[in-house]
Structure 1
Amino acid sequence: MSRPVGAPDADGFTVPGRGRGLLDVVERRYLLKLLVRKELRVRYQGSLLGLLWSYVKPAVQFGVFFFALGVFLEQNKAIQDYAVYLFSGIVVINFFSESFGNATRAVTGNAALVKKIYLPRELFPVASAWVAAVHFLPQLVILLLGTVVSGWRPTVWQLLAGVLGFVVVATLATGLGLFFGSINVLFRDFENIVDLMLLVVTWTSPVLYTWDTVQRAVPGWLWQVYQLNPVTSGVELFHYAFWFGATRPGAGPAATLPPNLLWHGALALAVALVVLVVGQLTFRRLEGRFAQEL
C-alpha cells in the first residue's frame, strides 16, 4: 500500500526531500533564525561599520535624489514636505529591492548547504527577506523621526495603511524571490534580468514624483493597471501613512492622494498573494533539480 507524500514511515520518520513548502518554514523557525544570523554575520564580516551601512546607503541615496530632483529640478516646491515624501518611498523601494534581489540569489548562494543536507529550500529566500527587514527597521526609525519633526499626527487608518503597505511589498518580494530564485538555479541569466527589473521598478514607482504625474501621462486603462502594481500601492500606502499625516494646510502645495487608495491596496495584496502562490508552486516543481544543477 502506497504511503502519502511527506507522511511518516513505519519508524516515524518523514520521507526525505518531501515537504510542505512555506509551512515547513513556519515549523522550522529556529532554522530560519540561524540562517538570518548567518547571512548578517557573513555580510558584515570584516566590515568596520557593520549594520551602520543600513543608515549610510539610504542616506546617500536620499541625498542624491533630493538634490538632483528636489533642489535642481525644484520638486520640493511642487510637493509639500518633499523630503518626507521622498524618503517614505525610498524605504519601501529599498526593502523590495533587497528582498527580491537577495532572494533570487539565495539558493545559488547557499549551494554548499543545498548539496550536503536536506532542509526546506524555501528557508533561503525567506531568510533573505528577513535580512532585508532587519535593514528596513533602521530606515523606518529615521523616517519616523523625520515625520515627527514635520508634525506627523497619524490616524488609525494611516497606521493600518503603513502596515498594509509593508505586508503587500513583503509578500510580493517573497513570491517573486521564490519564482526567480528557483529558475535562477537553472539559468543564471535571471540574476541580471532581476537587476534590470529592479532598476525599472525604482523609476516607474511614485517615489521621485507624484501619482498625478503618471495619470496625466498615460491612458486611463494603463493608469488602472499602474495602480494595481503592488509596489505602487505599497509606496502610496506609505505616503498616506507617513507623508500625508505630516503635511500642513497652507504650508505649500496641497497634498493629494490617488483615489480609492485603500481599495487598490487590498487588490494589490490579492495580486501579491497570487504571485506568492505561483512562486511557491514553481519553487516546489523545480527544487528536486537544485542539488544536481548546483
Structure 2
Amino acid sequence: MRDLLRYRFLFEQMVRRELRQKYQGSVLGIAWYIVNPLVLMGAYYLMFGRVFKVAQHDDYPLFLMVGLVVWIFFNQAVLGAAPSLLDHGSLIRKARFPRETIPAASVAVQFVTFLVVLVLVALVTFVLRGTLDVSIVLLPVVLAALFAFVLGFALGVAILHAYFRDVAPILGAVLLPWFFLSPIFFEPSDITTSGTYKALLSWVNPVAPFIEAVRDIVYGGVWPDGPTMLYVLVAATLVLGAGSFVFRRMQRELAVVV
C-alpha cells in the first residue's frame, strides 16, 4: 500500500489508460457493462426461474442481477489481471516501479465499472422492493473487502501466469463450473436442507459469502449474519496477504520472464 501511495500518479494514469482503451471505438461505452448482465439475467431467469424452477424468490430477476454483477466483477478482474504483466513487459523491463501497480490497475478498472452497475441495480432494487435500510452502512465495508479479496487473487494469478503461461487458460476453464456452483441463481437453502451441504456451498466457495453479503444488503435490506461478515473480512485479509506474498517472492526475475 505504501508503494501504491508513493506511485499513485502512475497508478492513476494506468487506470485512465485502461479505461480509455476499453471504450475506444465503442458506441455504447460503459453501457456494455449494463447490457451484459441484463442479457445474462434474462437468459438465466428463463432457464432457472421458468424452465427448471431451481429457486423461487420475489423479484427473481433482481435476485439474479445482484449476484451476477458481483460475479462479473470477480470474473473479469482476475481474467483481465492474468496477462497484464505480460502485456506491460516492455514497461517492466525499462522502468523501476512497484510491479503490483499493473494488476492493481486492471482490478481497479473493473471495480469502477462494477460500482457504476451496482449503483444502478441498487437504485432499481430499492425502488421496487423498498429494501433501503440502515444495513446499507455495511455495504462500503463489504465492497472494500471484496476489492481486497479480488486484488489478492489477481496478484497471485498475474505473477503465476507470467512464469507459467497455462495459468490463464486453466483459470478460464475453472471459472465456468465455479460460476454455476456459486449462489447466483439460488441460495443454499433452495437446493438442500442439510446443514453440512449448506455450509459447503456457502463456505468452501470463497466468492459465495461476498455474493450473499451484498445480496442481503441490497436485495434483502437486512444485515448480513455475523459468520458471513467474519468470513468476508478474514478471507479478504488472508487472500490479499497471500497474493502479495507470492507476488513479492516471485517478482525478482519478472523482467526476465516477460
1:224 aligns with 2:199: yes
Displacement after TM superposition at 1:216 (Å): 3.1
In the alignment, which of 150, 156, 167 is matched to residue 128 of structure 2? 150
Superposed CA offset, 1:244-282 (max 9, x none): 129xxxxxxxxxx9xx72322212321221111111111
Aligned twin of 2:50: 71
Displacement after TM superposition at 1:75 (Å): 5.1
Once residues 50 and 288 of structure 1 are traced to their aligned partners in structure 2, the CA distance between those partners, rounded to angstroms, is 37
* Cα contact 1:101–1:195 (8 A) shared by 2: yes
1:107 aligns with 2:85: yes
Aligned twin of 2:212: 236
Alignment of 1:1-294 (within 5 A): 22-74=1-53, 78-156=56-134, 158-216=135-193, 220=196, 223-228=198-203, 229-245=205-221, 261-294=225-258
Aligned twin of 1:9: none
Once residues 210 and 226 of structure 1 are traced to their aligned partners in structure 2, the CA distance between those partners, rounded to angstroms, is 9
Residue 131 of structure 2 aligns to a residue whose secondary structure is coil
Once residues 272 and 137 of structure 1 are traced to their aligned partners in structure 2, the CA distance between those partners, rounded to angstroms, is 18
Displacement after TM superposition at 1:225 (Å): 4.5
Q: Which runs of 5+ in 1 are unaligned?
A: 1-21, 247-256
C-alpha spacing 1:270/1:214, structure 2 compared with 1 (3 Å) = farther
* Cα contact 1:107–1:125 (8 A) shared by 2: yes
Q: Which runs of 5+ in 2 are unaligned?
A: none
Deviates more, 1:50-59 or 1:178-187: 50-59
C-alpha spacing 1:214/1:273, structure 2 compared with 1 (3 Å) = farther
Give the AA of the match of 1:172.
F
C-alpha spacing 1:214/1:262, structure 2 compared with 1 (3 Å) = farther
C-alpha spacing 1:154/1:164, structure 2 compared with 1 (3 Å) = same
* Cα contact 1:92–1:166 (8 A) shared by 2: no
Displacement after TM superposition at 1:212 (Å): 0.6
Give the AA of the match of 1:168.
A
Deviates more, 1:167-176 or 1:123-132: 167-176
Deviates more, 1:27-36 or 1:192-201: 192-201
| Number of corresponding residues | 257
Displacement after TM superposition at 1:103 (Å): 1.7
Q: Percent identity?
A: 28
* Cα contact 1:98–1:132 (8 A) shared by 2: yes
* Cα contact 1:164–1:237 (8 A) shared by 2: no
Displacement after TM superposition at 1:73 (Å): 2.5
TM-score by length of structure 1 reads: 0.80
Once residues 103 and 181 of structure 2 are traced to their aligned partners in structure 1, the CA distance between those partners, rounded to angstroms, is 25
Give the helix-richer structure, 1 or 2.
2
Give the AA of the match of 2:161.
N
* Cα contact 2:188–2:198 (8 A) shared by 1: no
Displacement after TM superposition at 1:285 (Å): 1.0
